[in-house]
Structure 1
Amino acid sequence: MSTINKTINHFMEYQGSCLCKGVTFKVIGNFKSFYLCHCSYCQKDTGSAHAANLFSTSAKLEWTKRETEITTFQLAGSRHQKSFCATCGSALPNLQMGDKLLVVPAGSLDTGLEKRPDAHLFMSSKADWDEALEEIKKFEGFPE
C-alpha cells in the first residue's frame, strides 16, 4: 500500500478503500477543508467522538473497484448524509449539495494526507467523555 500521494498537474491524487477492499477509489484534486465534527449525528454514525471529513468543490471522485454495493443514508430532515460499503460498513466518499460538494472520510484514504484538520465543529454537542484525551495512557497496540 502506497503512503505517498502523487501530484498530477498541480493536483494531488489520493487512493482510498473500504475495510474489505471491495470498493476502491481515487480522488484527483485538492481538499479545501478538513473538519472534525462532534455533532450527535456524527457521533452516532462513527460510533466515536467525532467524524473526520475532507471537503472539496473541485476534486474529482473516481470509483476504481466496486465489487460490493455502496449504500447512502440521508437522515430525514437534515443535511447529514453518509455513504458506506454494504459488505463491511466502512465509510466512503459521497457527493452532496447537488453533486457540488465532495465529502471524503479521512480514514478511508490509503495514501498519506499532509493536510491537518482546520477546525473542530459542533463542540457544544461533544461527548461527555471527549475531554483531555491526550492525557490518557497510550499504547502502540493492545495493552498487555
Structure 2
Amino acid sequence: MSETTLNGSCLCGAVKFQVRGEPQRFYHCHCQRCRKASGSGHASNLFLTDASLSFSQGEALLKRFKVPEAQRFARQFCSECGCAVARSVPELNAVLVPAGTLDDEAPIQPQARIFWDSRAAWSCAGDDLPRFAEYPA
C-alpha cells in the first residue's frame, strides 16, 4: 500500500490532526489497558509506519498518559472532552490512530483481534477475524 493521508478529530472538535504514512496494521485489541482506555470491550487502532503526525488545531489541549510499567502503552487525548487522538510511537517508527477518531474512511479493514485471551467475557466476537493471544508474529 502507498502513503496515505488521513484526517481526524476529537469528540468536541477542538483537536484536529492529520497523519501521513503507510497503513500497516489495524487491530481490535482486547487487553485490559485498551478496555480501560476505551471504556469498551476493545480498542480499534490503526498503525501507520514511516508516518508523520501534525495537529492543525488544539495541540495545546493535548494531554498524554503513559502507564509507568508498560513498554509502549500510552494514551494521548483532548483535555476538553477526553477523547483519545492519534499519537506518535517512536519505538515502532509509527503513528497509532484510534480508528474511531478518523474523519476519513480507514484505508484498510481490521486484520485481527489481539490479546484475545485477556478479553472480557461479554466482549464482541461475531466475526471471522484471526485471533491472537498477544501480538501476531
TM range (shorter): 0.7 to 0.9
Partner of 2:69: 77
* Equivalent of residue 87 in structure 1, options 72, 80, 99: 80
Residue 53 of structure 1 pairs with residue 13 of structure 2: no
Please point out which of 25, 28, 34 is paired with 1:36.
28
Alignment partners' CA distance in 2, 1:52 and 1:100: 19
From the superposition, tell whether residues 22 and 68 of structure 1 become closer, same or farther in structure 2 (CA, over 3 Å).
Answer: farther
1: CA distance between counterparts of 2:122 and 2:48? Answer: 31
Higher alpha-carbon Rg: 1
Q: Which moved more, 1:125-134 or 1:40-49?
A: 125-134
TM-score normalised by L of structure 2: 0.83
SS in 1 for 2:22: coil
- What is the percent sequence identity of the aligned residues? 38
What are the ranges of 5 or more consecutive residues in structure 2 without an aligned counterpart? 128-137
Runs of 4+ in 1 over 4 A off after TM superposition: 131-134
Gap change, CA 1:133 and 1:117, over 3 Å in 2: closer
Residue matched to 1:110: 103
In structure 1, stretches of 5+ residues that fail to align are 1-9, 135-144
Give how far 1:22 is off.
0.5
**Secondary structure of 1:27 counterpart:** strand
The answer to whether residue 7 in structure 2 is matched with residue 15 in structure 1 is yes
CA RMSD for the aligned pairs? 1.8
Answer yes or no: is the 8 Å Cα contact 1:22–1:68 preserved in 2: no
Distance 2:93 2:34 in 1: 21
Query: How big is the shift at 1:60?
Result: 1.4
The change in CA–CA distance for 1:68 and 1:87 in structure 2 (over 3 A counts) is farther
Q: What TM-score do you get using the length of structure 1 for normalisation?
A: 0.79
**8 Å contact from structure 2 (residues 3, 23) kept in 1:** no
Query: Could you tell me which of 119, 132, 137 is aligned with 1:126?
Result: 119
Shift of 1:100: 2.2
Q: 1:38 to 1:99 in 2, by over 3 A?
A: closer
Paired with 2:90 and 2:51, the residues of 1 have a C-alpha distance of 14
